[in-house]
Chains A and B, each alone.
Chain A
Amino acid sequence: MTLTDMEGAATLDTRVAAPVSHRRRRVVGLAAALVALMVLTVLSVMVGSKAIPVAVIWDALFDPSPDADQFAVRDYRLPRTIVGLAVGIALGLSGALIQALTRNPLADPGILGVHAGASFAVTLAVGWLGVRDIQGYMWFAFAGALLVTLMVLALGATRQGSSPVVMVLAGVCLGAVLGGAREALQLTDPEAFDAMRNWNAGSIAGRPLELLWPILPFFALALVLTFVVAGPLNAMALGDELAAAQGVQLARTRVLAIIALTLLAGGATAIAGPIGFVGLMVPHVARWIVGPHQRWIFAYSLLLAPSLLLVSDILGRVVLRPGEIQVGIVTAFVGAPVLIALVRRKKASGL
């Protein structure tokens, strides 16, 4: 038993002693996160190469007129913010799912081959089929992500159900093979390389809302699945045997969780390109705030991840004005210092 495990046990004891105050702290924290997210949503519409006051945003929504600022709000900033919210939620939840499933702190939603499948499919689309616009990329990315995860599931499945370690390794293998093939294609095709280095950075700018609508039903399904498996995943944190003894169906829980996280991560990648760090960082932070309770971790991830994404997106617009930095590049710079500072505190615990 390591030092942090013992500290974890200590906090567990205090929770048993004073469940009410602990619960109140969680609820207050959740409300604070919600308020922060709402503020950021408004800021995301206001801030940019030209600052737009709240009154204009209000008018753009409820009293439309052919004004340049209103146009910018309706056709550019608002879609970008909504896409950011959706993508952020999807990334945060999928990260929380994969960490609960594998109990590996290195596991991010891309580890089951989602990013590799999406990138490979987009490279094929760019290099061989000459697809050049984001609408075209999207369906290739989504299909690639789903296909590769299905293959990982098949590869990692055994009769005893699927072992998370084997599945993660299978995902790494498949991801590596596809990544190598993608890199080989790109290094021999400068045009594809050029197109892909933009897509690979990950961005939520210039995505019309029409792009988001077809993905939303998948997100909704995944959201329901996520909260359905939250309870069984809690039991599985005690170990497979104990969970099975409590009546958890291990194989079914794993498959449902994987379907949910693939839909979420695949959809997010299809819209925004591979954004890696959010899904890795946010669930760690959420767990350090609320302790090992999946439903709360999911709820916090649901709010913290879009917040991180929106903060990063806003900063990306402001820092190099009038130019912009893609959100996928900024997230690590915003999030990593927070992550490192938190892990240096005593309470941060493993999985």
Chain B
Amino acid sequence: MSAGASSRSRLAHTHLTGAAPAERVDFGRRVLVLRRWKVAVRVEWRSVTVCAGLALAVACMAVLALMTGSYQLSPGQVVSALTGGETGLVHDVVVEWRLPRVAAAVVFGAALGVSGAVFQSILRNPLADPSVIGFSQGSYTGALIVILVVNGTYQQLVGGALLGGMATAVAVYALAYRRGVQGFRLIIAGIGVSAMLGSLNTWLILKADLDQAMSAAAWGAGSLNGVAWNQVIIGGVCIAALLLVAGMLSRPMRQLELGDEAAASQGVRVSPARLGLVVVGVALTATVTAASGPIAFISLVAPQIARRLARTGGITFAPAAFVGALLCLAADYIAQHVAPTPLPVGIITVMLGGGYLGWLLFTEARRRL
């Protein structure tokens, strides 16, 4: 990609003749244009630097997470274990025990961030996330039924959650369908179905005995406990494929943000593009839910944080993915090592993400003063 890289500085001073004050004219953002074969990619410099910074932060956080535990390691040991320079206990601790969890946090966090970005973009609503289409409530209902009624194994619980979530998403989409799906109708249908399932969940929790209800609530908060290599690899492959599809759909997604008519006039096939985006968004969340339970809030908050960091006009995938990864990793670290009692990671993501976005809003408001 680097061969045809050229960067254009679009910021310039206007040089007016005479004594007129040199006024700074804003010609737009500095952009990076990559050209290779017949493909040209145009990215804003700020997005590139923000993504690089976030990637660095993810790497540092990962090394910290790999170091910490009841068997403390040095950064050097971690790096050499990762590059294959260690054998024995250090290798086992880093690569076999701690790395799956860290990798899971990064991959799943990124998936959730992108999934949220998809929904916020197609619904043009900063409050949208995969739960809008009912997936979260549906998967919780499925899990609750397996835990409380069938009293099933963990595999059955995952199956029940996926089945419940998918069935709900399909039902919401079908209910919103009327010669095409329109954002507002999708939101309302999602609200209705989610509210019913949420009520059902509350009732099930209320009728269950206390131990079962609490274990269900703990699953519902989402946790990376017991994530092993095979889940990370299967989940990672699925997520990588889905992210690729999401990347290919990102251009139609941007055009859809202009409105259905405008997008259609630019040659976007509106309905298939939107259906594809919904499927990708739900599938990303479903993959994460299958491996770790529903980790809440990353999909809502990551695109918003990313948008404020990169100062992009719309929703973009790459910064959202990196923010999601960092958020999930940091939250899991806090849940394991900082909290007085080990907590489900979902609880920490909610507090960390909410707190950070709140802080961003606060400073943004001060800046505008």
Contacts and interface: CB of A to CB of B under 8 A. Distances in A.
Interface in A300-351: 325-326, 328-333, 335-337, 339-340, 343-344, 348-350
Contacts of B353: 176
B347 interface: yes
B361 A166 contact: yes
B347 A180 contact: yes
A220 interface: no
Contact of A344 (B178, B357, B362): B178
Interface string B166-197: 00000000011010001011011101110110
Contact of B368 (A104, A160, A175, A201): A160
A329 B185 CA distance: 23
B344 A170 contact: no
A198 B126 CA distance: 32
Contact of A348 (B125, B185, B217, B361): B185
B202 interface: yes
A159 B368 contact: yes
B351 interface: yes
A169 interface: yes
B367 to A, nearest CB: 9
Contact of B195 (A177, A184, A336): A336
A159 B358 CA distance: 18
A340 B175 contact: yes
B206 A197 contact: yes
Interface residues of A, number: 64
Contacts of A340: 175, 188-189, 192-193
A4 interface: yes
Nearest to A331: B199
A48 interface: no
B128 interface: yes
Given A106-B132, A177-B350, 18 more contacts: A4-B184, A104-B125, A105-B184, A106-B191, A155-B361, A155-B362, A155-B365, A157-B365, A160-B368, A172-B127, A173-B358, A198-B206, A332-B196, A339-B188, A340-B188, A340-B189, A343-B188, A343-B189
Interface of B: 125-128, 132, 175-176, 178, 182, 184-185, 187-189, 191-193, 195-196, 198-200, 202-203, 205-206, 210, 213-214, 217-218, 221, 259-261, 297, 300-301, 304, 339, 341, 343-344, 347-348, 350-351, 353-355, 357-358, 361-362, 364-365, 368-369
Interface of A: 1-4, 104-107, 111, 155-160, 165-166, 168-170, 172-177, 179-181, 183-184, 186-188, 190, 193-194, 197-198, 200-201, 276-277, 280-281, 284, 325-326, 328-333, 335-337, 339-340, 343-344, 348-350
